[in-house]
Structure 1
């Protein structure tokens, strides 16, 4: 490992407020994944789209950051990182859905709350980009719960050999109708007793999201141990936000009860993915209860 490589890792660990032990994760999990992605791109001899699926708190955004920086700076492989979160519908668009379809659609996150036309347009631009071309990358501000004005979007210059796309529901498939009948939590029981919301989400997975996910050349899954861990990690995220930005004006931190209600929106799709996605993912990375990523497991059947 070169001194420049070590410097990059140390800088990223400090920037992301990660423990020193994350260096082991870099060596055992991230570097092998980088090498595999580079090999995939060379085999395909074209830009590739690599999806990173992971429930809330699994570390997918951090993984995407490390992959993009290492690919670009140390493997000389131009890479751009996108988040499905940045393709959320605007607040006005979601409020329209809440009025016309179901009130729960005002909350961002579930399939049906993303602008897939925008997502496809950005992917098309990146795939067709030539040297000197500029691609604007959408950005969503969770503090205001709305999309950032287009004039303020970051840009990516030139063509990318690797497009990283991370998202909690990436690669999710619809459930069969009988599975939708019984509510999985109090949110569904009390606020969606007739199943209109969960059927709308399921229909979105059957249609537009299926086509969008089909664009992936590779799917990496960060597999959480359980839904209980997801809830615990999401609460921890909120506590860390409170500590890091203590006293910041306008900061809105959710209580434990608010986090629990928020995560209920994600529970059905998350649990379905935990059951069936490991067998379909090209790469499976188990995440332990201690939040540490294990070594990648390659699915040779795909």
Structure 2
């Protein structure tokens, strides 16, 4: 397929427009996402392939997954779906019970311990079994609760590739020594005894281990540092306030992001050496490098039939 033929295809252009991305984003698609889709397709033989996509808040996981869905379908004829870890959040009532019985910080969604891991594992097992008619839950962040089942996504056919994305995908537990010292004001003032972070860590060592070990291939979108993550979230929230008049203030957002700081920093230090594909990002979200774990650069796809 020639460059002119690719340019003429509508779905990618429509997706770029729907995501509010500049026309220049096509260069990122051709340089990085199309080769990544090719590498995934090469692995998608036999049983359904589960691809983990890990990246901090604001790193662009959802956009990447939408691009990969389109590219894998158009270029390789594969049936692809995306499951977000966010959609596995416990209901608001269940988190309230957890907050009352374990620690008040569990009222806030996000960290390990606030997801329905059993549901996630059952869905992954069903995907691997090639089941049709699977129903993926949806979480309504505006309501801070699981969406009504009428709004859940139904997969009419088995999928060849499942993209399983989440901000803490692939996280491993820390040592007791790592947990002992509070990392930020939230931990120091609201978890002085370390109960919350110890419970989160135990979840990573226990139920989440099988969930995060499930992917056959792990892709990481690596932020240049936690400071960039905070900046990305501030930008997202500013856009939300401008669009809807709602959203968190800068002070509220700073506290909210502190819930995720420990695991985000740990992932940035630990996961790059374990990820099958590492996509390094600059502060402007531009891809600075995309490499296989064995340092093989993903830059150019092999020829495909036109």
Give TM-score scaled by structure 1 length: 0.94
Paired position in structure 2 for 1:79 = 80
Change (3 A) 1:3 1:218: closer
Alpha-carbon distance, 1:125 to partner = 2.0
Matched, 1:297 2:278: no
Paired position in structure 2 for 1:249 = none
For 2:54 and 2:8, locate their aligned partners in 1 and report how far apart those are by CA, in whole Å: 26
Matched, 1:40 2:39: no
Alpha-carbon distance, 1:4 to partner = 6.7
> 3-state DSSP class of the match of 1:279?
coil
For 1:256 and 1:164, locate their aligned partners in 2 and report how far apart those are by CA, in whole Å: 32
> 3-state DSSP class of the match of 2:34?
helix
Task: Say if 1:29 and 1:294, in contact at 8 Å, map to a contact too.
Answer: no
For 1:156 and 1:197, locate their aligned partners in 2 and report how far apart those are by CA, in whole Å: 36
Task: Say if 1:53 and 1:221, in contact at 8 Å, map to a contact too.
Answer: yes
Task: Say if 2:281 and 2:289, in contact at 8 Å, map to a contact too.
Answer: no
CA deviations 1:222-244 (Å, max 9, x no partner) are: 00011110000001011112233
Alpha-carbon distance, 1:5 to partner = 6.0
> 3-state DSSP class of the match of 1:228?
helix
Paired position in structure 1 for 2:231 = 232
For 1:89 and 1:145, locate their aligned partners in 2 and report how far apart those are by CA, in whole Å: 10
Paired position in structure 1 for 2:21 = 18
Alpha-carbon distance, 1:181 to partner = 0.5
Task: Say if 2:110 and 2:260, in contact at 8 Å, map to a contact too.
Answer: yes
Q: How many pairs does the alignment contain? A: 293
For 2:293 and 2:227, locate their aligned partners in 1 and report how far apart those are by CA, in whole Å: 26
Change (3 A) 1:110 1:297: same
For 2:44 and 2:148, locate their aligned partners in 1 and report how far apart those are by CA, in whole Å: 33
Paired position in structure 2 for 1:279 = 273
Paired position in structure 1 for 2:102 = 101
Paired position in structure 1 for 2:262 = 268
Change (3 A) 1:74 1:242: farther
CA deviations 1:111-163 (Å, max 9, x no partner) are: 00000111112122222235xx3111110000000001223211111111100
Task: Say if 2:56 and 2:222, in contact at 8 Å, map to a contact too.
Answer: yes
For 2:186 and 2:9, locate their aligned partners in 1 and report how far apart those are by CA, in whole Å: 46
Paired position in structure 1 for 2:300 = none
Matched, 1:186 2:176: no
For 1:5 and 1:18, locate their aligned partners in 2 and report how far apart those are by CA, in whole Å: 18
Task: Say if 1:28 and 1:294, in contact at 8 Å, map to a contact too.
Answer: no
Return 13-22 or 269-278, whichever deviates more. 13-22
Return 202-211 or 67-76, whichever deviates more. 67-76
Matched, 1:121 2:122: yes
For 2:77 and 2:119, locate their aligned partners in 1 and report how far apart those are by CA, in whole Å: 28
Return 121-130 or 143-152, whichever deviates more. 121-130
Gaps of 5+ in 2: 297-306
> 3-state DSSP class of the match of 1:261?
helix
Paired position in structure 1 for 2:54 = 53
For 1:72 and 1:3, locate their aligned partners in 2 and report how far apart those are by CA, in whole Å: 14
Q: Report the RMSD for the aligned CA atoms in angstroms.
A: 1.5
CA deviations 1:35-70 (Å, max 9, x no partner) are: 00000113xx21110000000111011001110122
Task: Say if 2:54 and 2:165, in contact at 8 Å, map to a contact too.
Answer: yes
For 1:24 and 1:295, locate their aligned partners in 2 and report how far apart those are by CA, in whole Å: 14
Return 145-154 or 25-34, whichever deviates more. 145-154
